[in-house]
Structure 1
Amino acid sequence: MDLSAVHAALSSKYYSVLASLCDDLLLQAASRGAATDDWPYAVHLLAHLFLNDLNSARFLWKSTPQETKDALPELAAVWRIGQCLWIRDYAGVYTTAQGFEWGPEMADFVAAFLEIYRKRIFQLLTSAYSTINVADVVHFMGMNEENATNYAIQNGWSLDVTTKMLTVVKPKVKTNQKLDVAFLSGKGSYFNVEYTSASDSD
C-alpha cells in the first residue's frame, strides 16, 4: 500500500488533513481487497482525536482487528488518550500522552495534539470564567503551578498573588470559533475549534 501521502503530511506537519486522507486511503484499500498489515493505525486514530472527532475515533478502534490492537503499543496508547477525552480526565490526557515513548513520526504529532488541546482548553476557560484559582488552571491545563500561571499571564490574564486567583481577560471572539462552555461542567459536547495546520497555532 502506498502511504507516501500520509508520511508527507506527517513530515510537513499538516496534521489536520490526516484524518480524511487516512479515511480515503483505507476505504480504497478495502474496496480493492488490499492487505492493511502495514496500515498506520496509531496515526489514523490520533488524526481523529486531533480534530476532536471522537465518534470516528471510536469507530476506527472498534473496527480494528484485535490482533492489531494487541500488536501495536502506540495504537493502544493513542486509544488511552481517547478514553481520557471521553471521560473528561483533563490531567489524564497529558499524563497518558507524555508517559509513552513514541516513535519519531508520532512524537511530533502527539506534541502538536497536546499543544492544540491545551489551547482549546484555555479558550474554554477564558469563555467560561471571569476569575479562576490557579489550582483549577493547573488541573485543566496539565501544567505545574508555575507554568500554568505563566501561561495565563502571557495570554493577558492577571494574578492576585495573595489569593492565587487569576483574572481572565476576554479576547475578541473570532468568527471561526465555536465554544461549548457547558463542556467544562460535563453537560455539553466536546469542544470544536477550527484548526487548519500546526503552523496556525502561533
Structure 2
Amino acid sequence: MDFSDLNEALASESYDQIGEICDNLMLQAASEGVPFQDEWPYAVHLLGHIYVNDINSARFLWKKIPSGLKSSQPEISAAWKICQKLWTKDYGGVHESLREFDWSSQSQGIIIAFSERYRKRMFELLVSAYSTISIRDATVFLGMNEDDAINYAAVGGWTVEPNSGMLTVKKAAVAVEQKVDPGKLQRLTEYVFHLEH
C-alpha cells in the first residue's frame, strides 16, 4: 500500500485532508482487492475524521475496523474514545481523552493540532453562550488548570473577579449593518445635484 499522500499530509500538517486521503486509499485498496486491514493506520484515519469534526464518518469507520485490531491496538481505542466524548458532548472528557494516552509519533501532530483547535472552539462557544462563567467551569471547557484557564481567558480580554471566582466574558464586537433610508438618499442626491449645477 502506498501511503505517500498520507505521510505527506501528516508532514505538512494538512490534518484537514487526512480523513479524505485515507477514505480514498481505502476505497482504492478495496476496489483492487488488496488486503490492507492489518497495516491500515486506523487510528490516524479516525483522528483525521475527528479533526474536521466529521463524527459520523468516524463512527462508520469504527464499525469497519476488525475487532481483533480494536483490542490489539490501543491507539485505535484511544482515538475512538475521543469520538465518543465528542458525540456525547462531554467537553471535559474530550480533553482527558487527548491527554491520557501516550500517542504514537505518527498521531502526535494531529493530536496537538486538534487539541488546540478544540480548545479554541470551546472558547468561542463560551464567548457566545456566557456573560460570566465560573473559573471551575471554564477549566472543564478549556481542559486546563485554573491558572492556565485564567491566563488563556485574559488573552481573550476576559477579566477575573477574584472575590466571586468568576470570569467576565468579553463579547466579540458585532458588526451592525446599517440600512439606508431611501428618503435620505434621495435628499442627498438632490443636494449633490444642486451643488454641481
Query: Which TM-score band (shorter chain)?
Result: 0.7 to 0.9
Return 5+ residue gaps in structure 1 as ranges.
Answer: 175-202
Corresponding residue number in structure 2 for 1:65: 66
- Residue identity in the other structure for 1:32: E
Corresponding residue number in structure 2 for 1:29: 29
Corresponding residue number in structure 2 for 1:44: 45
Q: Residue 133 of structure 2 aligns to a residue in which SS? A: strand
Corresponding residue number in structure 1 for 2:18: 18
- Residue identity in the other structure for 1:63: K
Distance 1:173 1:43, change over 3 A: farther
Corresponding residue number in structure 2 for 1:171: 172
Return the index of the structure with the highest Cα Rg: 2
CA distance in 1, matches of 2:169, 2:91: 20
Corresponding residue number in structure 2 for 1:189: none
1:3-152 residue pairs with structure 2 within 5 A?
A: 3-36=3-36, 37-152=38-153
Counting matched residue pairs gives: 174
Q: Residue 144 of structure 2 aligns to a residue in which SS? A: coil
Deviations 1:8-36 (A, max 9, x none): 11111110111111111111111111111
CA distance in 2, matches of 1:43, 1:60: 11
Q: Residue 147 of structure 2 aligns to a residue in which SS? A: helix
Relative to its length, the structure with more helix (as a share) is 2
Following TM superposition, the consecutive aligned residue runs of length 4 or more in structure 1 with deviations greater than 2 angstroms are none
- Residue identity in the other structure for 2:9: A
Q: Is the Cα contact below 8 Å between 1:11 and 1:105 reproduced in 2?
A: no
CA distance in 1, matches of 2:18, 2:65: 18
Return 5+ residue gaps in structure 2 as ranges.
Answer: 176-197
Q: Residue 170 of structure 1 aligns to a residue in which SS? A: coil
CA distance in 2, matches of 1:28, 1:35: 11
CA distance in 1, matches of 2:77, 2:13: 22
Q: Residue 88 of structure 1 aligns to a residue in which SS? A: coil
Distance 1:13 1:173, change over 3 A: farther
CA distance in 2, matches of 1:96, 1:115: 14
Residue 71 of structure 1 and its aligned partner are, at CA, apart by: 2.1
Q: Residue 132 of structure 1 aligns to a residue in which SS? A: strand
CA distance in 2, matches of 1:23, 1:119: 27
Residue 173 of structure 1 and its aligned partner are, at CA, apart by: 6.1
TM-score (norm 2): 0.84
Q: Residue 102 of structure 1 aligns to a residue in which SS? A: coil
Corresponding residue number in structure 1 for 2:156: 155
Residue identity (%): 49
Higher normalized contact order (CA 8 Å, seq sep 6+, divided by chain length): 1
TM-score (norm 1): 0.82
Q: Is the Cα contact below 8 Å between 1:18 and 1:47 reproduced in 2?
A: yes
Corresponding residue number in structure 2 for 1:191: none
CA distance in 2, matches of 1:5, 1:71: 26
- Residue identity in the other structure for 2:121: R
